[in-house]
Amino acid sequence: MAASTTVKVRRDGTITLLDAAAHTFVVSYEDGNFSADLLGADDDEIIIRDRGEIVGLRKGDSQAGSLSWSVHLRELTNGSADVILDFINGNGGASGALTSTGGTGYEQFLLDVKLGIEGTDHGESADGSATFAKCLIRADMSEGDPDVLNFSATVLGGVTKTGQA
């Protein structure tokens, strides 16, 4: 199929949090301000020089990416229903015990974060997505009209992108 000519807007996006045991949490009441870096090269570059002249480039250390988004505050916690703050801390109410996506070697509770981007409604052969693996998610709150939860995440496991074939 040809490359899409449909420009995507925030109405086309959906953020989903995933644990390692297939529990999911679809983020709602959000501002549509999801931001991600390192969608391209994700390694440090080591510039090779010969007496000051650039003669090559090598891959260096893998880099951690970052994500951010915000939602309107509805609840801080809930013992019988999933709310976002419980889910990112691994104690989702309705989901029960959540399982970190980190596995061995990662002490903190980590989740995968998936940004789904609608495509089929716009005549494309598939929806697009970017799944960010092993994310350490932090949250802060600010009062206002409405109150807002701001999320930032460190991406430790890279990104997998999908789209049209």
CA 34 to CA 36: how far, in whole Å? 7
Q: SS3 of 162, please?
A: strand
Residue 53: which CATH number? 2.30.110
- Please say if the pLDDT value at position 36 is more than 90: yes
pLDDT at 94: 76
In the structure encoding, which two tokens stand for residue 79, read together?
Answer: 């013992």
pLDDT at 61: 93
How many domains does one find in the chain? 1
- Please say if the pLDDT value at position 40 is more than 80: no
Please list, in sequence order, all residues whose beta carbon lies within 8 angstroms of the beta carbon of residue 160, skipping any fewer than 6 positions away.
Answer: 130, 131, 133
Q: Band of the pLDDT at 32, cuts 50, 70, 90?
A: very high
Q: Band of the pLDDT at 1, cuts 50, 70, 90?
A: low
pLDDT at 38: 75
- Please say if the pLDDT value at position 39 is more than 80: no
Report pLDDT digits (tens) over 103-134.
Answer: 999 999 999 999 999 999 998 999 999 999 99
Q: Band of the pLDDT at 135, cuts 50, 70, 90?
A: very high
The percentage of the chain sitting over the pLDDT mark of 70, rounded to a whole number, equals 99
- Is the residue at 32 inside a domain? yes
Please list, in sequence order, all residues whose beta carbon lies within 8 angstroms of the beta carbon of residue 137, skipping any fewer than 6 positions away.
Answer: 17, 88, 111, 113, 151, 152, 153
- Is the residue at 2 inside a domain? no
pLDDT at 48: 97
**Domain carrying residue 156:** 11-162
pLDDT at 46: 95
Mean pLDDT of 40-59: 92
- Is the residue at 143 inside a domain? yes
- Is the residue at 84 inside a domain? yes
pLDDT at 9: 94
- Is the residue at 5 inside a domain? no
